[in-house]
Amino acid sequence: MFRPVMTVSAAVALLATPFSSEAAAEDVPPPDKIVIDVVSVNGSGCPAGTANVTVSPDNTAFTVSYSNYVAQVGVGAKPTDFRKNCQLSLNVHVPQGFTYAVARADYRGFARLEKGATGLERANYYFQGMTQTAYVNHHFTGPLNDNWQTSDTTDIDALIYHPCGAKRNFNINTELRVDAGTSDTTKTTSLVAMDSTDGNISTLYHFAWKQCPRR
C-alpha cells in the first residue's frame, strides 16, 4: 500500500505476480549497466521529443524528464489545456538473474494557482498484460505560486517485482489537471507543470532489486 507524503510530487502503484520466496532478499543493484528503451510515448503532455528517460550510473533509479507537460486554464489557454496526460511504455533490460520493482516515485514541478483554483497530479504504473492499479491522486489548492514535490513509497513486503524470465514492458500513466473553480479565467491563468523553463525538473523512480531463483 502506498503512503503519500505531501510536501507540495507523486506516486507509484504496481501489480504483478508474487515473487518466489526462494529469491534472495538482498536489495543490491546488478553490476552491469541497465538499459531502458522507450517503446512508445503517447499523450497531450508528452508530444514527440519532449520526454526523455535516463538511468542513474549506480542502477538505483531512472528519471523521466518532460519539457512540455503543462495543464492550464484561463488567459492564453485552449479549452482542452485543463487536462494533460502522458503514457510511457518502457522496456527495461536488466542483467540475467535479476529482477526489479519500483519502490518509490518522486515527482517535481511548478504550480501557479489563483485563489479559488485547484490542481491535480495523478499516476498509476503496471507491467504489460497485468491489471492496472488505481490512480494515486495529489491535490493542490490556490493561491499557490511555487515549486511542488511529493514522494510515495511502498512497504518492503508489498513490493511488486517484474516476473523473472518474462518480457513485459513497464507502463507509466500520469495526468495533470487544473480546475478554475471560482477564479477569474478572463483575467488570470492557473497552471500545474511537470517541468521547468530550463528543463531540469524530472521525475525520479527508485529501483528495488532481487536475484531470481536459480533454475
Q: Mean pLDDT score of the chain, rounded to an integer?
A: 79
Q: What's this model's pTM, rounded to 2 decimal places?
A: 0.77
Per-residue pLDDT tens over the stretch 153-199: 666 666 778 888 888 898 889 999 999 999 999 999 999 998 633 33
| Listed ranges 58-62, 168-172, 205-209; the one with the highest mean pLDDT | 168-172
Per-residue pLDDT tens over the stretch 84-112: 999 989 888 888 888 888 877 888 999 99
Count of other CB atoms within 10 angstroms of residue 202: 20
pLDDT at 69 over 80: yes
Contact status, residue 190 vs residue 183, Cβ threshold 8 Å = yes
Contact status, residue 183 vs residue 177, Cβ threshold 8 Å = no
Distance CA 206, CA 98 (A): 16
pLDDT for 26: 52
pLDDT at 14 over 60: no
User: Predicted confidence band at 7 (pLDDT cuts at 50, 70, 90)?
Assistant: very low
